[in-house]
Amino acid sequence: MKKTDLASVRALVYGDVQGVFFRAFAARRARELGLKGYVRNLPRGDAVEVVAEGERKQLEELITHLKVGPPAAKVERVITDWSEYTGRYSEFKIGF
């Protein structure tokens, strides 16, 4: 794997995404894809933040899952911000 294949993404997921097991859903998917980072609820109550690092292809697949969410969620929009891979995370965590 080339270093250029690695990336970092911050995704803000808006909608009915808190209290519907969205964080557990996102963490499970990220771990299955071999990604590292975290997922947390934002204090306003209308969004979940996901920060993930790993192979770009796997990150793109994670974003596809985030746009759907778990069955009880109602995702309205996902805003992504891509950046360079940092390697600062050792696993994928819920909370921060």
Using the Cα atoms of residue 5, residue 10, residue 15 and residue 19 in order, give the sign of their dihedral.
positive
Active site residue 40: no
Vertex 71: Cα angle to 47 and 40 (nearest 5): 30
Name the catalytic one among 28, 31, 41, 56.
41
Name the catalytic one among 10, 23, 40, 44.
23
Q: Contact, 66 vs 37, CB < 8 A?
A: no
Q: Contact, 50 vs 26, CB < 8 A?
A: yes
Run of H or E including 72: none
Active site residue 88: no
Mind telling me the catalytic residues? 23, 41
